């Protein structure tokens, strides 16, 4: 719930300009604005013929019907949305979203050709008790297993992946505390191996998120099992986001 519509449009315009200036066929950029901004931002993206993709921050677990206040996957698709964040730590924490609900949301996405971006990560206590790897692998399995057959049967390679994963340690989100490169490397290596055995015919992108800034993104993206980044605070103004974006093209 950040920014006004005008601020969001200015920000999107700056990002669109950056992508145009530095175009690279191997890079893909997406923004995840609040629901009410999707329409105007999609109009902006289309009018500029930009490759910037729209992602929603949430979706209903239901297909359609009397669910006041909910937004369905079909609605999002109609607005040109390409993917949805599922299980972001704020949804898990403030809205008590649990695996079962997250699976239903993922299922709605897959039935409507939206890319679920599944967010997972350990809290500080799990990190300190050295259980991070088994915890995140377990989270990955429980969120992905129900869809293994469905995703396996999808054609590959297509332009966009059927699924993305974002590893976001809870203690790193919005805190300025970032895991060491070795810690990120270790988690990503394990998650990437698990993804390869879950979905052997797809290269599922694995993003890192949590206090990413222009100061650390270059080194994080250089790690071999890091395919991209999910950025919160640093993406909210061009002043902090443009220097970060430039680092992605260094
Ligand atoms: P942050 O947020 O970059 O501000 O840590 C990440 C997120 O909200 O996913």
Q: Whose CA is nearest to atom 1 of ligand 1?
A: 232
Residue nearest to atom 6 of ligand 1 (CA): 232
Is 88 tagged catalytic?
yes
Predicted confidence (pLDDT) at residue 158 exceeds the cutoff of 70: no
Ligand 1 atom with least separation from CA of 172: 5
Q: Please give the pLDDT value at position 156.
A: 66
| Domains in the chain: ranges and CATH | 32-248 (3.20.20.70)
User: Which of the four pLDDT bands, split at 50, 70 and 90, describes residue 127?
Assistant: very high
| Mean pLDDT for the stretch of residues 29-40 | 97
Distance CA 144, CA 139 (A): 8
Angle ∠(191,192,197) on CA atoms, nearest 5: 100
Among 97, 122, 168, 247, the active-site one is 168
| Residues sharing a CB contact under 8 Å with residue 104, sequence separation 6 or more, in sequence order | 61, 62
d(CA 195, CA 156): 15
From the CA of 212, give the closest atom in ligand 1. Answer: 3
Query: Which of 30, 173, 211 is the pocket-test mutation for ligand 1 (most atoms within 8 Å of CB)?
Result: 173
Q: Which protein residue has the closest C-alpha to ligand 1 atom 9? A: 232
Out of 88, 97, 122, 202, the active site residue is 88
Q: 78-122 pLDDT, tens per residue?
A: 999 999 999 999 999 999 999 999 999 999 999 999 999 999 999
Reported as half-sphere exposure (CB side, CA atoms, 13 A), residue 127 has a value of 17
Displacement of CA 11 from its chain's centroid (Å)? 18
Q: How far is the CA of 65 from the centre of ligand 1 (A)?
A: 33
pLDDT at 46: 97
On the question of a cis peptide bond just before residue 211, with omega within 30 degrees of 0, the verdict is no
Whether the per-residue pLDDT at 23 is higher than 80: the answer is no
The reply to whether 188 belongs to the active site is no
Sheet holding 83-86, edge to edge: 30-31, 53-56, 83-86, 115-120, 164-167, 206-209, 228-230
What is the rounded average pLDDT of the residues 160-188? 96
Is the pTM here over 0.85, yes or no? Answer: yes
């Amino acid at each position: 719930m950040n920014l006004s519509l005008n601020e969001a449009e200015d920000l999107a315009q700056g990002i669109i300009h950056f992508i145009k200036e530095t175009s690279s066929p191997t890079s893909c950029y997406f923004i995840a604005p609040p629901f009410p901004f999707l329409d105007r931002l999609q109009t902006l993206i289309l009018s500029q013929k930009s490759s910037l993709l729209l992602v929603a921050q949430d979706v209903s677990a239901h297909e359609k019907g009397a669910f006041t206040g909910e937004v369905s996957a079909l609605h999002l698709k109609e607005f040109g949305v390409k993917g949805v964040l599922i299980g972001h730590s704020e949804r898990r924490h403030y809205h008590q979203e649990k695996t079962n609900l997250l699976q239903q949301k993922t299922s709605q996405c897959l039935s409507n050709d939206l890319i679920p971006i599944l967010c997972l990560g350990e809290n500080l206590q799990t990190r300190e008790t050295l259980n991070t790897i088994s915890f995140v692998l377990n989270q990955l399995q429980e969120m992905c297993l129900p869809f293994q057959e469905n995703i396996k049967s999808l054609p590959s390679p297509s332009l966009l992946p059927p699924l993305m994963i974002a590893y976001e340690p809870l203690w790193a989100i919005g805190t300025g505390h970032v895991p060491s490169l070795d810690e990120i490397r270790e988690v990503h290596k394990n998650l990437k191996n698990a993804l390869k055995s879950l979905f052997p015919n797809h290269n599922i992108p694995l993003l890192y998120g949590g206090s990413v800034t222009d100061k650390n993104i270059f080194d994080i993206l250089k790690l071999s099992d890091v395919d991209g980044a999910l950025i919160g605070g640093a993406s909210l103004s061009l002043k902090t986001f443009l220097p970060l974006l430039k680092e992605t093209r260094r």
